[in-house]
Amino acid sequence: MMNTPDVPAFEDEFTREFMKSTKEVEEGFYLFESKTGGYTIWFPENAVTEPDFYYKQGDGRETMSIKELYGDNLIYRATLTYEHSRLTDSIDTQLSVLSSLARYEGVYGEFQYGDNLYYYAKSVYEIDNDPKAYRFFSYIKSKTFEKSIKFIYEVTCYTFEQPCTIDVDQQEEYALKLMKSVEFQE
């Protein structure tokens, strides 16, 4: 048994299976490797994956979820859907699927980071004109391989019975940090 860090990412048995190393890639983050071998991502030390949301089909498809409860009554969940197929080049179709998953109707901004192309958008889910959840999402497409990830990050109050304050700019910055940490593997 390797000597593992005393953090939820390693204390959780299912999450630990994905950890590539016990060495931090940056303070508070460890390297997570997909069971498809298709990508890695920086994984927050206080987060866990959810076995109930995990799905893998061969080495070409995988869906997983990262969640963390933190601060004063806050929770975020990031859902990643990995795909390795020729369909990753059908940008309009992929964005249509992502929009459906994120319940979004709108335009995506585009940017490049590293070896990836990003189609990025954000939205607010409101109940009675009161912001309840913020979503930041992107279609991340490898420029080198026929690989992609649909990435949806949502932050909200853990319970609406208690108040919570969401720093939207800070959350967006964090979501983008996770998205930009995605590296597709050969």
Task: For residues 98 and 57, give the distance between their C-alpha atoms in angstroms, rounded to a whole number.
Answer: 19
Cα separations in angstroms, 166 against 72, 161, 170: 9, 15, 8
**Which pLDDT score, from 0 to 100, does residue 131 have?**
62
Q: What is the tally of structural domains in the chain?
A: 1
Q: Which domain holds residue 161?
A: 46-184
Structural domain includes residue 16: no
pLDDT digits (tens, 9 = 90+) for 36-85: 999 999 999 999 999 999 999 999 999 999 999 988 889 999 999 999 99
**Which pLDDT score, from 0 to 100, does residue 162 have?**
83
Structural domain includes residue 32: no
**Which pLDDT score, from 0 to 100, does residue 60 have?**
95
Structural domain includes residue 74: yes
**Which pLDDT score, from 0 to 100, does residue 57 have?**
95
- CATH code of the domain containing 169: 2.60.120
Structural domain includes residue 22: no
Structural domain includes residue 59: yes
Structural domain includes residue 1: no
**Which pLDDT score, from 0 to 100, does residue 2 have?**
60
Cα separations in angstroms, 138 against 40, 115, 163, 165: 16, 15, 29, 24
Task: For residues 68 and 60, give the distance between their C-alpha atoms in angstroms, rounded to a whole number.
Answer: 27
Structural domain includes residue 7: no
Asked if 151 and 82 count as a contact pair (C-beta separation under 8 A), the reply is no
Structural domain includes residue 3: no
- The H or E element spanning position 75 is strand 74-84
Under-50 pLDDT residues of the chain = 1
2-5: long-range pairs with CB below 8 Å, 24+: 5/30, 5/45
Hey, is 168 helix, strand or coil? helix
